[in-house]
Structure 1
Amino acid sequence: MSANQFMHQELALLLGFAGWLIVAVLGLAVLALCYLGLRRLLHNILAPRGFSPEKITAIGWIVVPLAVLLVLAIPAARMLYRGDEPPYLTVSVTAHEWYWHYDYVSAPGLGFDSRAVPRERLPPGAVYGDIADHPLVVPAGEKIRFLVTSGDVMHGFFVSALGLQIYALPGALLTGWTVIARPGLYDGQSSPICGDDHQPMPIQIKALPLPAYRAWLAAQRG
């Protein structure tokens, strides 16, 4: 399951809610058919009061779809506006041939390069290009915004477990965000072919509980 549990859960709730709403609308359609079957009887009852089944049906076909759209718009708007909330942490990501540079915009002065661990330093059984020497450390449970660009050719900041797929383009600044629900180490790669050493451009994001992240940040500053 994706570590970006906020979006995962919100989408699941929205789709589940929409599914039940569809069932409810179909149920109303069945009731409407039953209602039309009893139309003659209703006409005899309502006509003396100035109403008719035709008027009630016309009003229903306007009011019910409008109500359905309004009910669906509320959770959908909540998801959209979640992206406008200010992030806890902003990280500038610059791709190079063939490494990443991270700058903590929210912590001025803190930044470092992240490269593939050399073959001679790999632990037994590890594959060259899968481990970064300096993972990006972020807090779990908080919104994190990424500002992604490239210093040379096209790269890609792709971490599928976090729902991140941001191209790194020279001369352009693209953004994305995520919320990592669980602490852990999450791996990614630059998927576009960007040169001879394209493969060893690992992305590793280490999510820490917020108190541990703050302790790490204080240690880096000290």
Structure 2
Amino acid sequence: MSHWSQLSLQDAATPIMTMLISFHDHAMLVIIMVLTFVAYALLSLTMNKYTSRNTYEAQAVEAIWTILPAFILLFLALPSLQLLYLTDEIVKPGVTVKAIGHQWYWSYEYTDFCNIEFDSYMVNTEDLSEGQFRLLEVDNRVVLPMNIEVRLLVSAADVIHSWTVPALGVKADAIPGRLNQMSFILQRPGVFYGQCSEICGANHSFMPIAIESVNTESFITWINSFKDEQ
């Protein structure tokens, strides 16, 4: 992976992340247009030799540079507010998963399926298999079905953590004694990685998150196999 690709946003795996990327591109386009206009005005004013000693006011110009930025802010605020509302919207979740942060690992509960519970620890570097990512791979991945709304309940058992997966466009603080919730719909199969983004202690960087997106049949098979193991 090149250095430039690491600076870009991850490929979207949910509709929310797709809209977040679109809004990012929209905002960057507006910023580039504003910077281009300001740079052109600055260069044209500093490089010409025109002077005017009798101009004391320019009400038309002042009105323009007051009203125009207000419209620019509207072009940014309206889609931002719409997206902010959609990120908190939960309609009819098909699967509910509870994530609990510990120092320093995550535990998960599938309360819809006879209380399936497991802990998810980071895989040590010497135990990694070929193709696995260092500091991101876990021993037990969170398996979730595609094209079904998933509700995630987030809490913590000791200190404040933060459950974050960039490709899904979700991030929620895990606070002891409190439940935060968010939802997402996985659009494609794959494994998506995240990390705790809250400074929760000495091993803060060693509690990754791995989400495995599968089809419905594979998810049901995984649930049944997990029950058989118990």
Q: Equivalent residue for 1:138?
A: 144
Change (3 A) 1:10 1:193: closer
Counterpart CA distance in 1 for 2:138 and 2:123 is 6
Counterpart CA distance in 1 for 2:226 and 2:205 is 29
Change (3 A) 1:219 1:9: same
1:22-101 matches, within 5 Å, as 80=86, 83-101=89-107
TM-superposed CA distance for 1:124, in Å, is 5.3
Counterpart CA distance in 2 for 1:200 and 1:103 is 21
Q: Equivalent residue for 2:18?
A: 8
Determine which of 199, 206, 218 is the counterpart of 2:205.
199
Change (3 A) 1:143 1:196: same
TM-superposed CA distance for 1:119, in Å, is 3.0
Amino acid in the other structure paired with 1:191: S
| Equivalent residues of 2:16, 2:87 under 8 A apart | no
Counterpart CA distance in 1 for 2:175 and 2:183 is 17
Change (3 A) 1:215 1:124: closer
Amino acid in the other structure paired with 1:132: V
Secondary structure, aligned partner of 1:218: helix
| Equivalent residues of 1:159, 1:187 under 8 A apart | yes
TM-superposition CA deviations, 1:170-214 (whole Å, max 9, x none): 111100000000011000000111111111111000010111111
The answer for unaligned runs of 5 or more in structure 1 is: 17-71
TM-superposed CA distance for 1:9, in Å, is 5.9
Question: How many corresponding residue pairs?
Answer: 162
Secondary structure, aligned partner of 2:140: coil
TM-superposed CA distance for 1:86, in Å, is 1.9
TM-superposition CA deviations, 1:36-88 (whole Å, max 9, x none): xxxxxxxxxxxxxxxxxxxxxxxxxxxxxxxxxxxx9xxx6xx8599342211
Counterpart CA distance in 2 for 1:87 and 1:7 is 18
1:122-161 matches, within 5 Å, as 122-123=128-129, 128-161=134-167
Counterpart CA distance in 2 for 1:134 and 1:107 is 17
Change (3 A) 1:141 1:154: same
Counterpart CA distance in 1 for 2:167 and 2:101 is 20
TM-superposition CA deviations, 1:91-140 (whole Å, max 9, x none): 01000000000000211221100000123312358564211110100001
- Give me the identity figure in percent: 33
| Equivalent residues of 1:128, 1:200 under 8 A apart | no
| Equivalent residues of 1:104, 1:110 under 8 A apart | yes
Computing the radius of gyration from Cα coordinates, the structure with the larger value is: 1
TM-score by length of 1: 0.65
Q: Equivalent residue for 1:221?
A: 227
Counterpart CA distance in 1 for 2:18 and 2:87 is 16
TM-score by length of 2: 0.63
Secondary structure, aligned partner of 1:120: helix
Amino acid in the other structure paired with 2:143: V
Secondary structure, aligned partner of 2:163: strand
Q: Equivalent residue for 2:116?
A: 110
| Equivalent residues of 2:17, 2:167 under 8 A apart | no
Change (3 A) 1:111 1:82: same
Amino acid in the other structure paired with 1:88: G
The answer for unaligned runs of 5 or more in structure 2 is: 1-10, 27-77
